[in-house]
Amino acid sequence: MKLESKVFVVTGGANGMGREVALQLIQRGARVAAVDLNQAGLDETAALANAGDRLTTHAVNVSDRAAVLALPAAVKAAHGEVDGLFNVAGIIQPFVKIVDLDFDVIERVINVNLWGVINMTKAFLPELLARPEAGLLNVSSMGGFLPVPGQAAYGASKAAVKLFTEALYAETRGTNLSVTVVFPGGVSTNITGNSGVDTSKMEAMMAPADGKPAKVRKTVTPAEAGRQIVAGMEKGAFRVRIGSDAKFMDRLSRLSPRRATLLIADQMKALLG
Active site positions, annotated: 154
Distances (CA, A) of 42 to 139, 177, 190, 210: 19, 28, 15, 43
Task: State which amino acid sits at residue 36.
Answer: D
Check: CB of residue 10 under 8 Å from CB of residue 136. no
Please state, as a whole number, how many other Cβ atoms lie within 10 Å of the Cβ of residue 24. Answer: 19
